[in-house]
Structure 1
Amino acid sequence: MKSYVCAIDLGTTAIKAALVDKHGRIIALTSHPSPRVSPGDGSFNPDAYFRRVCKTLRGLLAGMSGHAFRVEAVSISSQRSTTLLLDSRSRPVSPALSWQGIDCAAAANIFYCKFGTERFQKITGLPPSPIYSAAKIAHLATCPDRLSKAVRIVTLHDWILTCLGVPELLTDHSNASATGLYDIRRRVWSNDIINSLGLDAKMMPEIVPAGTPAGRVSAETAKQTGLPEGTPIITGAGDQQCAAMGAGGMEGDCILSSGTSAALMLPLSKRPSRSPRGFLLLAHAPHKQYMLEGFMSTFGSCVVWAAKSLKVRGAVGLEKLALISTPDSKIIFLPFLAGSGSPDHNPSARGIFAGLDLTASVSGLARAVFTGLACETNRIMDSLRKNVPVKRLIIVGGGAGSSLFPELVADLSGLSVIIPEKTETALLGAAALAWAGIHNKDIEAILRKNVYETSRNIIPSNDTRNIKALYSEYLKTLSALYPPSERKII
C-alpha cells in the first residue's frame, strides 16, 4: 500500500490540501476559497474557516476513492499573524483577526511609540507594522470587553491544530516569530512586550520546533474530514517559511514568492548580529535557523491593474503587449500602488510612470510594468545582499509564469534565476515537516531527498547595458520623488 502525508495550506484567499509522497511529489490536490475577511478590521468567522478546511480535506480524499493508500501524517502551512482569542476550552470568544486588518494601525502606532520602535525591533527582529498579533492586541486593549474574555491568545495555525485533535495549544517558532510578541534572540515569548500590552505570557501557546509530533486526529475530526482517526498531527510552519523549503531554498538562495504582493526570503543557518532596517528577521522552520524577509506591497496587483487599464486579458495579455516594445524603451514605472515595502515601508509612496515622450507607446507602458517590478525586486535584493551573500534567485508564484520578468531580474542582479517545476511550494514545505515528524528526522535531511525539478534556469545575458541604464534612472526617479531623508525607513 502506498504511503502519503497530507499537507494543508491555510491561505488568506484559498485553503488547499494535498497528498504528497516521500519524494515530494504531489499525488492529489484540491482547494476551496477561504471565508470572506471583513475590510477594515480583517475579522472572519474561525468556525466557518475550519468547516472550509474540513470540506477541502473531504474533497481531497474523495478524489482518491478506489486507490489503496495510507495517510501517514498531516501538517500545516499557515498564513502568519492571524490572531484568535480563546476561552478556557480553546473556543474562540470573538472573530479571528486576519493579518490584513488595518483598523488597528492607530492603536498599534501608539503602542510602538510608547514601547519604543528601536526597542521593539531589537527584541523581535521586526519593523513596526499593523500586521502583527501585537498590533491587534494593542487595538483590542481599547475594547476591554473583548480582551477580558480571552484566556489564551493563539494564531490560526495553533487553533486549527486543536481542531484536528491536538490536546494542547502549541505553536512553532516560525509562526511565533511573526506575532510581534516573540524574542528573536532568546527564541521565547517576550515578557517585556506581552506585559506592556497588559497580558501574561501564560496566555500564549507553548513553542515547539516545526515538525514536532503534537497529537492525533480525533474521532470527531475524522468524521468531519475523512482523515483516518489516529493519524499523527505534526506542527507546521508559516506559509513563507514553508514556501522557501518547498522551493528547495537553502542558505545562499534568495526565494521570491510572488502573488498579489511578494516576499523575498533568505534562509540563514545563524542569526545575524543585527537585523537590517526595514526587513523581517524571523525564525525559519528548520530548528534554530532563521530567515530574512523583504516585502513588496504590490506585485501581481500591478499586473492586474495594468492589464485592466491597458485593456488586455490578464498577465498573459500584458506580457504579449510588453514584448512588442523594444528592450531600449526608457519608460520607468514605480510599482507602489499600495505604498512601498522593504526597506522603506512608506505607505504614502505612489506608483508613477516617468520618462514619457511623444514616442511612448502602449506596449512601452506594458513593458515598463515588468521592468519596474524587476527594478524594485533588485533594489530590495541589493539591500539584502549588503548583509548576506546570495548565489541564486528562485522564483515561485505568479512571477514564475512570466518569460520576461525572470530574464529582467537575471540581467539586473547578475544571478542565475531558477524556476521550479513544482508550483505548490507551501504545501510541499508542510509535507516535508510531516515526513520529518513521523520519521523523527531533521527537516533538511527530508528536503535533500526531495526531487527538485527545474522548469527553467535563466542566466544573465551578455548585454545588460540597456536594463542597467534603466535601473540607474529608476533609482534617480525614486530618489527625486522620495528622497532618502524623507523615506520612512524603520
Structure 2
Amino acid sequence: MTQGLFLCADIGTSSLKVCVFDGRGNILFSTKREYPTLSPAPGYAEQDPGEIFGALVEAVKEAVSSFPGGSFEVLSFDTMLHSLLLVDGNFTPLAPLWNWMDTRSFQEVEEFRESYEKECLYELTAAPLHTIYHPPRILWLRKHHGDLWKKVSKILSIKDWMLFQLTGELCCDYSTASGTGLLEVQRKAWSGKMCDLLAISPELLPSLVEPDFAAPLMNREFAASTGLPLGMPVVWGGGDGPFANLGEGCFREGEMVVSVGSSGAVRMCALRPVIDPGKRAWCYYLASDIWVGGGAINNGGIVFSWMRDLLREGEVTLDLSRRRPLFLPFLTGERSPYWDPYARGILFGLSFFHTPEALLQAAYESVAFSIRAVFDMLREVMGEPRKVVVGGGFALSENGRRVLCDVLGVPLAVSSYPSSSAKGAFLIALKALGYVRSFEEFPEEFFPTEGRITPNENAHALYEELFRLFKRLYEVNAPLFREFAKLGLA
C-alpha cells in the first residue's frame, strides 16, 4: 500500500506505547514508557500530564532512532477514554489529570441523578451516570475548588492537550468526546442542555473533528528531540476501546470484540448510535459514522492475579468436576451492567474442603460470568453478534479463552494481535493520508487470527446454571453492599 512507516502512539492508563507499522499493518518495532497513577486521598486517581508528554517524547525518540532517517510518513494516536484535564488561558494544567479510575465524585452522581433522569440525559449522550464521565466530576470541581474553577479556560482530555502541544490545533475527536458524557450522540455536538445543567459555557470545550483529522507537526523542540521533521502529519485518532474494534477488523455492523486484560469490555459495532432502554450500555464513536455499543467491567484479569497472589499459588488446570465456590468478583465495584460502585466480592458456598485450586478456578470463572452479563445485555439491545473476536492478556491465556468460550456459548475467533488499539491508529492514518477511502478497502490479511474455538456443550450447560446463580447473588446482595459501605470497611 505504501513503503513508508507509520508511528502510532497509544496513550494508556499506565503506559504510553509507540508502535512502528509498515504499510501492510505489520508491527516492526514497539516500545513503551510507564508512568504512575497517584491516589493522595480515597477515590482519587491522578496523573502528571507533563510526565505523559515526556513519555511520548522518549518513546518516539527511541522508535525514530531505530530506523533510517526519512522513514516515517505520519504520527497517529489513540488514547485512554475518560481523562479530564483543566487548563488556564496559557494551556497550562491547573491540576493533575483525572483518569477513568477516579471515583471521588460519587456523591455528585447521586445529587445529579434527579436532573439526569428528568432531562433524559442518557438518551442524549448514551452515557450512564457514573464517576468516569465529566458531569459529576465538573460538579465536584466547582463545589470543592471554586477558586481554581474560576481560572479554567478549557476542559480537555490528555490527547487534546498533547496534540495541541504538537500542532497548535485545539480539537477533540468525536471518538474521545463520546467518552466524556457531554456529547449528544445523535447530533455529534456538545450538549447545550448538559452544559446548562452544569452551569458551564460550551466555550470551555474544544472544537470537534473526525478521528481522521490531521494537522502538521509544529513543535520545534519535539521535532528536534525526536528526529521527526516539522510539517509531518499528525492524525488525531480516537478512543482506545473503539479503536481496538477497528484494529481487530470488527468495524461492520454486528461484529463484536471481547477484550479482557486487567479490566474488560464487550463492544459491538452499529451504523447508528446505540441507546439502551435500560440505560446500562454506553455508546462511543469509532469513525466514518460507525458507532460502538458496549459495556466494561472493572474486574478482569486483576481478579485472578489478586487471588493467585493472595494464595501464593501459580496456574491452575480447569476441572469441571472440581468442588468449588461461586465467586462474585467485584473487588473494585463494577461498571456494566450494574453501574454499582458499592459492589464488592463474595465467595459463595465456601467449604472447609475447598482447595487453593478451587478458589483459583472460581476466580477464572467469575471474570467470564461478568463478561457474560455484558454480552447478554448487548445481545438484548443490539441483537445477536455475527462475529466475535476475543483478545487481551487474560483472554489469550489457555484457561481464559476456554472459560470465556464455554460461558458465552458461542464460537470465538482468537486475536493474534498484541496492540489492537495502536493498529486502529495505524488504520485511521491510512485513511487520513488517502491510501483508502473507506475501511472496507482494507485487505483481509490485515486482520489475522490464531484460529477459532467452539464451546464445550457439557461445560456450557453447567455454566448456564452457575451464571443464573451468579446474577441472583448480585441482585440479592446489592442493597447490602450499600449498607456495608457506610461502615467504611470496604
On whether the aligned pair clears a TM of 0.5, the verdict is yes
Q: Does 1:139 align with 2:140?
A: yes
In the alignment, what sits opposite 1:252?
A: 254
Q: Does 1:468 align with 2:469?
A: no
In the alignment, what sits opposite 1:190?
A: 191
In the alignment, what sits opposite 1:148?
A: 150
Counterpart amino acid of residue 392 in structure 1: K
TM-score scaled to structure 1, two decimals?
0.90
Distance 1:252 1:391 in 2: 5
Residues 383 and 295 of structure 1, relative CA distance in 2, 3 Å threshold: same
Distance 1:86 1:159 in 2: 9
In the alignment, what sits opposite 2:486?
A: none
Considering only aligned residues, what root-mean-square deviation do their CA atoms show, in Å? 2.4
- Contact 2:86–2:152 under 8 Å retained in 1: yes
The Cα of 1:438 is off from its aligned counterpart by 0.9
In the alignment, what sits opposite 1:235?
A: 236
Picking from 265, 268, 290, the partner of 1:266 is 268
In the alignment, what sits opposite 1:20?
A: 21
Distance 2:473 2:45 in 1: 35
Distance 1:118 1:385 in 2: 27
Q: Does 1:380 align with 2:374?
A: yes
The Cα offsets for residues 416-435 of structure 1, whole Å up to 9 and x where unpaired, read as 11221111111101111111
Picking from 38, 43, 46, the partner of 1:43 is 46
The Cα offsets for residues 181-238 of structure 1, whole Å up to 9 and x where unpaired, read as 1111211000111122222112211111111123334322201322222110111101
The Cα of 1:75 is off from its aligned counterpart by 1.1
Greater CA drift, 466-475 or 132-141: 466-475
In the alignment, what sits opposite 1:351?
A: 345
In the alignment, what sits opposite 2:487?
A: none
In the alignment, what sits opposite 1:97?
A: 98
The Cα of 1:17 is off from its aligned counterpart by 0.4
In the alignment, what sits opposite 2:279?
A: 277
Distance 1:443 1:38 in 2: 43
Residues 415 and 118 of structure 1, relative CA distance in 2, 3 Å threshold: farther
The Cα offsets for residues 113-164 of structure 1, whole Å up to 9 and x where unpaired, read as 3454762212211111111222322112122211111222211111111112
* Partner SS state of residue 141, structure 1: helix
5+ residue gaps in structure 2? Answer: 484-490
Counterpart amino acid of residue 342 in structure 1: S
Alignment of 1:104-115 (within 5 A): 104-115=105-116
Counterpart amino acid of residue 299 in structure 1: G
Distance 1:42 1:341 in 2: 17
Counterpart amino acid of residue 435 in structure 1: L
Counterpart amino acid of residue 110 in structure 2: N
Residues 372 and 130 of structure 1, relative CA distance in 2, 3 Å threshold: same
Distance 1:273 1:347 in 2: 22
Residues 356 and 112 of structure 1, relative CA distance in 2, 3 Å threshold: closer
Distance 1:177 1:439 in 2: 25
| Percent sequence identity over aligned pairs | 24
Distance 1:236 1:413 in 2: 31
Picking from 401, 405, 410, the partner of 2:400 is 405
Residues 415 and 91 of structure 1, relative CA distance in 2, 3 Å threshold: same
Alignment of 1:204-215 (within 5 A): 204-215=205-216
Distance 1:99 1:289 in 2: 23
Residues 73 and 128 of structure 1, relative CA distance in 2, 3 Å threshold: same
- Contact 1:35–1:48 under 8 Å retained in 2: no
The Cα of 1:276 is off from its aligned counterpart by 4.3
Picking from 475, 478, 488, the partner of 2:474 is 478
Residues 479 and 198 of structure 1, relative CA distance in 2, 3 Å threshold: closer
Distance 1:299 1:185 in 2: 32
TM-score scaled to structure 2, two decimals?
0.90
5+ residue gaps in structure 1? Answer: none
